[in-house]
Amino acid sequence: MGKFIYDGNTKMEFEDRLLAHLQAVIMAKVRRGESFPFTWKDDISTGGGRTTVYIHPHVSLVFKYHGSRTPQLSAPWLHALTYNANSGRGLYVIPEPEEFTPRESMQREEMVFREVPNEPMAADSQR
Residue 109 has pLDDT above 90, yes or no: no
Render pLDDT for 21-57 as a digit per residue (tens, 0 to 9).
Answer: 999 999 999 999 999 999 999 988 888 899 999 999 9
Any domain includes 123:
no
In a domain, 118, yes or no: no
- Confirm whether 79 is domain-assigned: yes
What's the whole-model pTM score?
A: 0.75
In a domain, 29, yes or no: yes
Asked, for residue 120, whether it belongs to a domain, the answer is no
Residue 107 has pLDDT above 80, yes or no: no
The count of domains in the chain is: 1
Q: Residue 126 falls within a domain, yes or no?
A: no
In a domain, 43, yes or no: yes
112 found inside a domain: no
Q: What is the domain range of residue 51?
A: 2-105
pLDDT for 7 beyond 70: yes
CA–CA dist 74, 98 (Å, integer):
10
Q: How far apart are the first and last CA of the chain?
A: 73
Q: Could you report the per-residue pLDDT of 58-70, keeping only the tens digit for each? A: 999 999 999 888 8
Q: How far apart are CA 67 and CA 17, in angstroms?
A: 10
